[in-house]
Structure 1
Amino acid sequence: MFYILLAVTLMAVVTYIPRALPIVLFRRKIKSQRITSFLYYTPYAVLGAMTFPSIIYSTGNLNYSIVGTLMALALAYFEQGLMKVALGAVLVVYLCHVCF
């Protein structure tokens, strides 16, 4: 039982450190444009890095995944809504599975 409590405590500390560290380190406003830009775009980069492999391997067929991704990118480029982009990509992948 002691090891379970120790493990939970250590996990809590390790989870808390990345959240508390920026507050402790950056008490003043960040003046560097490069650091501000880096911190602004980091969530988008991480989201893309986590999402893109799932998109490619989700269908089990690389070609269908690429076609669905291209359809989603095309719909997003022409400023369609999120629902249209998602449904369009799913529909194209489904049609590829049915037709080929």
Structure 2
Amino acid sequence: MPRAFIIILCMALVTMIPRMIPAFIVERVRFPEWVNHWLHVIPYAALGALIFPGVLSVVPEKPWIGLVGGIVAIILSIFRIHIVAVVLGASLAVFFLI
């Protein structure tokens, strides 16, 4: 086998093993209720951290346009409107402000 193939295979294993271990351990471990609640909130916090900088940089010279789009998205999501409609509503708000 070529040396490069062995290196790629080892890198794949080193990457895969830490990702697979939690899938087998989490089912066997019982966490307190507050830990479960905290673990369910993490995806929303990560999503917010990824989206918010983009909201401010829609139009770099006019960050208020992105903020208005974000506020429209928040208002629509409060009314539990389908996610596609929320994205379209925020996009339309930004489109008309540009």
What's 2:13 paired with?
A: 13
Whether 1:42 aligns to 2:42 is: yes
TM-score by length of 2: 0.72
1:77-96 equivalent positions in 2, closer than 5 A: 77-96=78-97
Percent of aligned pairs with the same amino acid = 30
Matches of 2:14 and 2:51 in 1, distance apart? 24
Query: Gaps (5+ residues) in structure 1?
Result: none
CA apart distance, 1:85: 1.5
Matches of 1:4 and 1:59 in 2, distance apart? 45
TM-score by length of 1: 0.71
Matches of 1:62 and 1:31 in 2, distance apart? 42
Query: Gaps (5+ residues) in structure 2?
Result: none
What's 1:2 paired with?
A: 3
1:48-63 equivalent positions in 2, closer than 5 A: 48-60=48-60, 61-63=62-64
- Give me the CA root mean square deviation: 2.5
For residues 7-62 of structure 1, what are the alpha-carbon distances to aligned partners after superposition, in whole Å with 9 as ceiling and x for unaligned? x3344234313322213543524141222222222222222222322333234331
Matches of 2:44 and 2:18 in 1, distance apart? 18
Asked if the contact 2:58–2:65 (Cα under 8 Å) also holds between the matched residues in 1, the reply is: no
Matches of 2:59 and 2:10 in 1, distance apart? 38
1:61-72 equivalent positions in 2, closer than 5 A: 61-72=62-73
Aligned residues: 96
**SS of the counterpart of 1:79?**
coil
Matches of 1:45 and 1:17 in 2, distance apart? 26
CA apart distance, 1:73: 0.8
